[in-house]
């Protein structure tokens, strides 16, 4: 099954507006974010021939910690010098102030994106100062239930359509998406599909999006956030999908509620 999925998932994780990668996850059907919106959004950069290139998104969950997808950093998880963080920025590469990493922690059960343990913690070398435009996102309680009627958004600098890169000046994009539980999402993925008859979407995943509204290449690791009683909570981490905004193929996210205890053990 995994060989077949790899052939069908060209936007699995960390492709970028300028440097393309065959694994990668975009913002399709999006609008430009306003200045100051989504103050937890970060850009994960990698030294792919100077200058540092955007490869994934991420979220600031603590002054010293970034939450992102494991597949964004699995290739060089033991070499923090290969990565830097850019905090909330309206336009990529404009007035960069990159922050180095001290540590990379990948979830111990992660082997590939299809098993749902696609998350990693990045510790900054020094805590960042929170401002009006740089804020942390609140993590949910493990018992929090996210429902389809909630207002949820995903943000990033990824592709604006399948294979169509975000053009300069690379302005942060946002799109409102509808949530879908794992079982419903699994049924969607089996429609008009040659995938395995077995289950594909597991309980440690959550889906979001619809035809024409989705995350894509360059958005992996970014936050899916929902408004819960006037507080933004992070429900998911952009993980994988098939095409971008295709019918019956919503974006698949790591379900944060399944991992808040593991996250708390490290960031405390």
Q: What CATH number does the domain containing 252 carry?
A: 2.40.10.10
d(CA 38, CA 258): 23
Where in the sequence is the domain holding 195, given as residue range(s)?
A: 151-257
| pLDDT at residue 252 is higher than 60 | yes
| pLDDT at residue 19 is higher than 60 | no
| pLDDT at residue 206 is higher than 90 | yes
Nearest-5° Cα angle at 187, 221 to 238: 5
Is 113 part of any domain?
Answer: no
Is 190 part of any domain?
Answer: yes
Nearest-5° Cα angle at 217, 106 to 251: 75
Q: What share of the chain is helix, strand, coil (3-state, %, to 5)?
A: 15, 30, 55
Is 184 part of any domain?
Answer: yes
Cβ atoms of 118 and 239 within 8 Å: the answer is yes
Is 140 part of any domain?
Answer: no
Is 168 part of any domain?
Answer: yes
Contacts 24+ apart (CB under 8 A), 49-54: 51/93, 51/96, 52/84, 52/96, 52/98, 53/16, 53/18, 53/19, 54/16, 54/17, 54/18, 54/86, 54/92, 54/93, 54/157, 54/170, 54/218
164 Cβ neighbours under 8 A, 6+ residues apart: none
**pLDDT of res. 8:** 34
Is 218 part of any domain?
Answer: yes
Is 252 part of any domain?
Answer: yes
Question: Could you report the per-residue pLDDT of 22-35, keeping only the tens digit for each?
Answer: 333 446 666 889 99
Q: What is the largest CA-CA distance in the chain?
A: 49
Question: Could you report the per-residue pLDDT of 165-190, keeping only the tens digit for each?
Answer: 888 999 999 999 999 999 999 999 99
Rounded to two decimals, the pTM is 0.90
For residues 201-208, give the mean pLDDT.
97
For residues 83-92, give the mean pLDDT.
96
Nearest-5° Cα angle at 216, 83 to 72: 25
Is 210 part of any domain?
Answer: yes
Catalytic residue numbers? Answer: 71, 118, 220
Residue linked to tokens 């492709």: 15
Q: Structural domain tally of the chain?
A: 1
**pLDDT of res. 161:** 79
Residue linked to tokens 């399709």: 28
| pLDDT at residue 2 is higher than 80 | no
């Amino acid at each position: 099954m995994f060989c077949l999925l790899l052939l069908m998932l060209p936007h699995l994780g960390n492709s970028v507006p300028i440097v393309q990668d065959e694994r990668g996850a975009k913002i399709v059907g999006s609008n430009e974010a306003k200045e100051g919106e989504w103050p937890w959004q970060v850009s994960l950069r990698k030294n792919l021939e100077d200058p540092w290139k955007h490869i994934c998104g991420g979220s600031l969950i603590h002054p010293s910690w970034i939450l992102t997808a494991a597949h964004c950093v699995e290739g060089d998880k033991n070499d923090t010098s290969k990565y830097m963080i850019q905090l909330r920025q309206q336009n990529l590469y404009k007035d960069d102030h990159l922050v180095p990493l001290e540590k990379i922690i990948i979830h111990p059960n992660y082997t590939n994106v299809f098993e749902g343990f696609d998350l990693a913690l990045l510790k900054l070398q020094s805590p960042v100062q929170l401002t009006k435009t740089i804020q942390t996102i609140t993590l949910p309680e493990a018992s929090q239930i996210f429902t389809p009627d909630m207002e949820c958004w995903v943000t990033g600098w990824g592709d604006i359509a399948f294979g169509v890169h975000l053009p300069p000046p690379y302005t942060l994009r946002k799109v409102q998406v509808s949530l879908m539980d794992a079982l419903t999402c699994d049924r969607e993925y089996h429609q008009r599909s040659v995938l395995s008859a077995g289950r594909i979407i597991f309980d440690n995943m959550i889906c979001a999006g619809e035809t024409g509204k989705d995350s894509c290449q360059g958005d992996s690791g970014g936050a899916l956030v929902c408004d819960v009683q006037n507080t933004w909570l992070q429900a998911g981490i952009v993980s994988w999908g098939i095409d971008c905004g295709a019918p019956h193929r919503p974006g698949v996210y790591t379900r944060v509620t399944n991992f808040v205890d593991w996250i708390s053990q490290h960031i405390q």
